Amino acid sequence: MDDTLPPTSPDDFPDDRPPSKSQVKRDMHALLDLGRELIALPPAKLAKLPLNESLREAIALAQRIHSNEGKRRQVHYVGKLMRQADAPALRAQLDVWANGSREETRSMHRLEELRDRLIDSDDTLTQLLERFPGLDIQSLRAQIRAARKETRDNAALPEGREPARKHFRALFQTLKTLNFEDEPF
């Protein structure tokens, strides 16, 4: 007689079982869908992705094919090649392109806040110049003055008129060139 007891809970079963046939099919369809997304990308964005050469060539060929059946077959071939690709990294990059990264959004909000503080107060400019002593002070002061004038002029506009944003945006673009990596300002 065997004295061992059969497993009584799902945790007692080993997890080294192979995935079910349905799960394998779901995974393959997900790779196929990812391949379709890659085929829809412009060549400039494809060049930025970490793809092996055979996958890159298959995607380029799929983009050139216009025949329905030929394109379907090439899409399936791209899906097959996707098995060797780093799918999570590709999905993450596509997500960043589609939605923008949260960190990038936070960075832009910090720059907008800094721009608003520069327009409101000269103390912020003094702090900025202390942190970045190599800045072109004259150019930055001129941009801030122009943005302040633009803000005053926009406040006096009659209702329904579009406010000017040229100098406001130029100041923002200047701030984007500064390196705030170590800590936010």
pLDDT of residue 73: 96
Model pTM score = 0.52
> Residue 20: is its pLDDT beyond 60?
yes
Helix (H, G, I), strand (E, B) or coil at 140: helix
Instruction: Answer with the residue of higher pLDDT: 102 or 13.
Output: 102
Say yes or no to pLDDT of 184 above 70.
Answer: no
Q: What is the pLDDT of residues 120-134, one digit of tens each?
A: 988 999 989 888 888
- Asked if 32 and 79 count as a contact pair (C-beta separation under 8 A), the reply is yes
pLDDT tens for each residue of 138-148: 999 999 999 99
CA distances from 56 to 17, 48, 134 (A): 34, 11, 43
Q: How far is CA 6 from the centre of its chain?
A: 51
Query: Does the pLDDT value for residue 12 go beyond 60?
Result: no
Residue 99's pLDDT is: 79
DSSP assignment of 101-120: -HHHHHHHHHHHHHHHHHHH
What is residue 40's predicted lDDT score, i.e. its pLDDT? 93
* Phi, then psi, of 17 in degrees rounded to 5: -75, 145
CA–CA distances in Å: residue 185 to residues 18, 55, 104, 105:
52, 43, 15, 15
